[in-house]
Structure formats: structure tokens, C-alpha cells
Structure 1
Amino acid sequence: METKIRGLPNAYVATHEINKGLPAARNTGLQMARGEYIFHCDSDDFVEPDMLETLYTEAVRKQADIVWCDWILSFEKNERYMKQPSFDTAYEALKAMLEGGMKYNVWNKLVRRKLYVDYEILFPAGYGMGEDMTMMLLFAHAGKVIYVPKAFYHYIKLNTNAMSNMYTDRHKEELKHNVDWISDKLIGTGGEDLKKEVSFLKLEAKFPFLLMGNMQSYKLWKEWYPEANKYILQNHAISMRNRWLQWCAWKNMFTLVWIYSRLFKLAYKVLY
């Protein structure tokens, strides 16, 4: 259902009769959109007043398909400035997202709508966990890309226990589906050249299991994407600490993994 917003020409609010989840909501917005560029803002967050004007001006000035910027991670008592890297090509940015050196979130990026339309790119309806990996498909087909070194987006994170929470079975199903889906799509688009970077993505997807501090999660880490484990020490885009932790898990040193997860949870609570 579409409802026109009074006083704002060409502005509408779309509603679903039942809750279909975030990816389906994004797809409905894409179907309704008629503008040159697409921007996503999540309901719990907010943006600086000049965000869209600045990103759009840069996109038009440099004829860019995608523009991205820095962002602010806001906790209950403090916040962090999250600086993003700059790249000359969309392919370099894509590889960085797969490696974990650049965030693939949808909400700090302005994207030319034509990319969605021409390549029939939609979000994975019904699979919300990790759905913003879809952004990597857009980079896989983009031409000119631009980075704006300023934080416009405020990502609100009030649940500081989230890093240590167990995923529900549904969360695991959704995440596995989306990692498999995006991996197949990217290998199909970029060929074997992206095989190592896709393995980095798989390692990143299962990394949170090592922070949960229980044998069930450790078992899941071992079961997910064992073929990617041989690349653990090759990803220099993530910290040596994270590589060491994954290497310990690969070698079944789960006592060390458990000790680290306890220390991690304590430090996270104290800092944030």
C-alpha cells in the first residue's frame, strides 16, 4: 500500500499488510523508486541534514555510480568515528569488502538506481541476517565510485551484549543462505579471481561463533566452510589477533579461544 505524504511532491510511505522483513521492505522501496539514486536509512538510526545533498552533489559532479562515506557508531554512553577506506575502482572496493577492510552496509552509500534495474539486483526477501551483502553485487557491476571522507550517518547500537549473544537457528539459516547466495553470485560474476576473497567473507561470517564461548558454537565454526580455513593467515585486512583466534580454532585449541572470548566480552562491556 502506498500513501502520499502531504506537502512533499513525489514522496510516499509504503506499507505491507503483514511484516515481510527488512529485505522485502527494501525491495518494495526499489520498485517504487523513480529517482536517479537510491539511499537506505534504517529505522533506529539518523543522518546529518546535509548527507544526501553532499553525496548526491559528488555523485553528479563526478558521474559516479556509487558514493560512500564515513559513519558514527553510537553507544549508550559514547561513540566512535568509523573511518572508511578510499579506492580508485569499484573492484578494489569490492575486494576490500570481502576481506573485511571496508563495510558493505547499505546505509552509508548512495547508489545509482540504474545498477539495480539493469542487473536485476534485489535483496534476499525472507533472509534478513546479512542481507546488506547485496551491496557487493552493486559494486561488482559499478563503474565510477567515490569516497567522501566525512561521517554523515549515525548507527545506533544500544545493546552492548549483542556481540556475545547466541544466534537463533533462524539467524544461522538466514546468514548461511546469504553467504552462499552472494558467494555464488560473485564467483559467477568475477570468476576464480575472487575465490580467495570470497573465502575471507566466509571466514568473517563464521567468526562470531568463536566469541560465543561454548562448544556448540565452536562445533558450528568447524562445520561452516572448512574449505576457507586454509586462507586464515592470508587476510591482512583484519587484525593479527583475529587471525590468531581463527588459527587456534582451526587447530582445535578451543581452550585458548574460550579464554579470549571471556576477555573480549569483559573489555567490550567496559569500553562501550
Structure 2
Amino acid sequence: MKVSVIVPIYKVERFIARCVTSLMKQTLQDVEYIFVDDATPDQSLSILQEVLVAYPERKKYVKILHHKDNQGLPAARNTGLEVSEGEYIFHCDSDDYVEPDMLETLYNEALKNNADIVWCDWFLTFGQNERYMKQPNYNTPLEAVKAMLGGAMKFNVWNKLVKRELYQKNAITFPAGFSMGEDMTMILPFVFAKKIHYVPKAFYHYVKTNSGAYTQNHSERHLKDLQYNVARVEMTLRQRLGASLDKEIAFFKLETKFPLLIMGTNSQQYTQWSELYPDANEFICQNTYISFRSRMLEWFAWKKQWWIVRLYYWVIIKFVYGVIYK
């Protein structure tokens, strides 16, 4: 198999038909499709089976695996990795969809450039429109790692094609039981990669359907998950590269807690921001990977000028991104 596509399934009956159809229509042949049922309680599996009937030529390349109990997204990705046989791995979330030439383009670019990892641009897709999300280009894995830590490059799982041997040889798995921030795992293959390549075209549609409320109960669990995943990445970086990325790791911690400033105007979120990785705050102005506006927002938060943080939320997040761009 050239590529193994891993698709976790849980409560996606509204979206999975579009996702699976887009995968079945891929122009690349010799693709293995691994669907992992994470004990979904809805009709997602029935819909999956209905779509697959229309593509009998793909049937022998499809694996459907089942979790007896819901284990979460990271565990589902790991289940797929364990049985994958493709030269490269591609992760696709089952509420998203892809362009038909995505796998062929990325795979051919990987071969052409002898790349361990290939990444591309993507679409942030809303109900009525979408935004083109441009990604940066870097020539070496270390440059890409620094950019992901600093926030200039996204460490999403679904816009990257990664050689399977990078996962196998370096025992890279996703953090089962710690779902929030699980995509930070994608930094790790870059740490071990020898050659990488960027494709300046968008193929993946990340469907933004629910801005969601960040409740107190969820935030406490989410923060614990985030801290676990940050520590996990930091440990690997220090084992592999020593103290050479101290500054970038501080940037990483700042980026991890940044959403607390733009997810609402709850004073408890601001308190959580202040208490999370306070030692990283002194690096705020040094992080040129992100915009000056974002650095200023963090700086005002550091100085506890919460009225400016609230104003930013209402003007930029709610009005500009919530009304104009949505």
C-alpha cells in the first residue's frame, strides 16, 4: 500500500457520508482505508457501510475496526496505526472531507523529494463559506519544529503525510486518554525526520461547525490534558535536542494557553491563563513566529489589563471572525 488512511469514527452521522465519499474518490490507487469505530452510539457505521457499497473496487482495501468501549480520539488513531501497512500514513477526521487529488499529489511529492513528511495548506470550512489557510514553508525538520512550537505552523494531524516508519522506529503513538492537545503528537515525527517538503495548495476541508462553550468542568479536564501533552512533547525534545530549544518551548507553552484569552470573557479563564506556565510570560515579546497583535494581547494579559483582552474578544473574535468571515 502506498498510503494508509486512518479515520476514527464517533458521533459523526451528519458528516461521515461526505467524508467517506471524498476518500473513496481519491485518484491515488493502492490506498488502504482504516475506519476505527470508537464505540459510536449513532448511525455512523450504517452510513459508512452504505457509502462503501457504491465503491466495490475499494472494498478489499477497507478495514473496519471496533472498540468495545469509547476510548477517545488518540486511542482510535493508535488502533489504526497498529494495523496499518502503507508506506505513508494520513489521518482524516470523519467530520471533514478532502479534495480528490489530495493523496496522489502529496504522495507523488513525497517520492519526488524523498521526503519523510509532506504537508500542505487547508480550508477552514463553515456552513456557507470557507477561508484558505496558508501554511509556511521550511527547508529542514528543525526549522519546522521551531515554527510549530512558536505557532507559525500548525501541528494538525490532517494536512500531513508521514512515513509510517517514523512512527514505528521511534515508538510514536498518540496520548490515549488525553484527547485535548493530542495533535501536538505531530511535532514528534518532525523531530526524527531527515527530509520534509511543503506543497503550497489546499486539499483538506476542516469543518468548523460548533464554536462550543468552554465550560468550567470541561476546561479543568482540558487543561490537564494539555499539560500532559505539552510535557510529553517537551520531554522528547529535550531528550533529542537538549536545551537548544528552551526559548521555543517557552513559545510553545504560551501558544498552548493562548486560547484562554480568546474563548470568552470569563474571568476564571483569565486566572487560568495567569497560573498556567507563568515562567513563559517573559518570552512573550520574543516570539516573532506569531503576529504583533497576538504578542500585544499576551503582553496585556501578563500585565493584567483584562479590559483590553475583553475588548479584543468582542471586536476581533466575535465581530470580525464571528460575523464578517463566518
1:122 CA drift (Å): 0.2
1:245 aligns with 2:297: yes
1:225 aligns with 2:225: no
1:20 CA drift (Å): 0.5
1:262 CA drift (Å): 2.3
Residue in 1 that maps onto 2:171: 120
1:97 aligns with 2:97: no
1:46 CA drift (Å): 0.5
- Tell me if the contact between 1:68 and 1:110 (Cα under 8 Å) persists in the aligned partners: yes
Could you tell me how far apart the structure 2 residues matched to 1:77 and 1:171 are?
Answer: 30
Question: Could you tell me which amino acid in structure 1 is paired with residue 318 of structure 2?
Answer: K
Give the number of aligned pairs. 270
Could you tell me how far apart the structure 1 residues matched to 2:237 and 2:318 are?
Answer: 34
Q: Deviations over 1:207-236 (max 9, x none)?
A: 111122122111111110011001000111
1:178 aligns with 2:229: yes
Q: Deviations over 1:180-214 (max 9, x none)?
A: 22122212222111111111111011111112212
Could you tell me how far apart the structure 2 residues matched to 1:55 and 1:232 are?
Answer: 35
Question: Could you tell me which amino acid in structure 1 is paired with residue 67 of structure 2?
Answer: H
1:60 aligns with 2:108: no
1:259 CA drift (Å): 2.1
1:130 aligns with 2:178: no
Q: Which runs of 4+ in 1 moved over 4 A?
A: 1-7
Secondary structure of the corresponding residue to residue 39 of structure 1? strand
Instruction: State TM-score, norm by structure 1.
Output: 0.94
1:266 CA drift (Å): 2.8
CA RMSD, Structure 1 to Structure 2 (Å): 1.9
Correspondence list, 1:55-204, <5 A: 55-159=106-210, 161-162=211-212, 165-166=214-215, 168=218, 169-204=220-255
Instruction: State TM-score, norm by structure 2.
Output: 0.79
Secondary structure of the corresponding residue to residue 221 of structure 2? helix
Distance change in 2, residues 1:2/1:176 (3 Å): closer
Q: Which runs of 5+ in 2 are unaligned?
A: 1-34, 38-48
The correspondence for 1:258, drawn from 301, 310, 323, is 310
1:2 CA drift (Å): 8.6
* Higher relative contact order, chain-length normalized (CA < 8 Å, sep 6+): 1
1:269 aligns with 2:322: yes
- Tell me if the contact between 1:37 and 1:110 (Cα under 8 Å) persists in the aligned partners: yes
Distance change in 2, residues 1:2/1:98 (3 Å): closer
Q: Deviations over 1:64-98 (max 9, x none)?
A: 10011111111112111111111111111111111
The correspondence for 1:214, drawn from 245, 248, 266, is 266
Secondary structure of the corresponding residue to residue 155 of structure 1? strand
1:28 aligns with 2:28: no
